[in-house]
Structures are given as C-alpha cells and as structure tokens.
Amino acid sequence: DLENRNEIIPSVAVLDGEYGYHDIAFGILARISRTGISEMIELKLSENEKEELKSSIKGIGDSISYLKSKGLI
C-alpha cells in the first residue's frame, strides 16, 4: 500500500514532453501517491546520455513499427 507517502520510485509512464518525447512509454522516476503518478521526475542528462536516450527511444519506435507491419499489434 502506497498510502499517501509521495515516494519517488522507478516507474513506466507515457511521456508527455519529458526529455522532448511524446506518446511513448518509458522508464522514468516518478512521484507516486495514492491516486497514481503525481509528478514525473526529469533528470538532467549529459549530451552523451541524451544521445543514448534518443537511440533507445528510436529502437522502441522501430520495434513498434515492425510489430504493426506484421499485424501483431
């Protein structure tokens, strides 16, 4: 039970502008309360980390596109 502790924990959420991305589920840190995610914590990333994130999100998008093209989702 999370009660209402407002803890920050690793989570998966659909990004809505965080890190410059929209409409993709990704692992983030989030403040969780009794009602769900109350805040998504956006970490300051180095340029190298931003490039790695971009590559990772591109891989997710490519995988989704492939699955859609095969009629699997």
pLDDT at 35: 84
* Model confidence, pTM: 0.73
Low-confidence ranges of the chain (pLDDT < 70): 1-4
Residue with tokens 């109350």: 38
- Token pair for 63: 């995988």
pLDDT at 3: 66
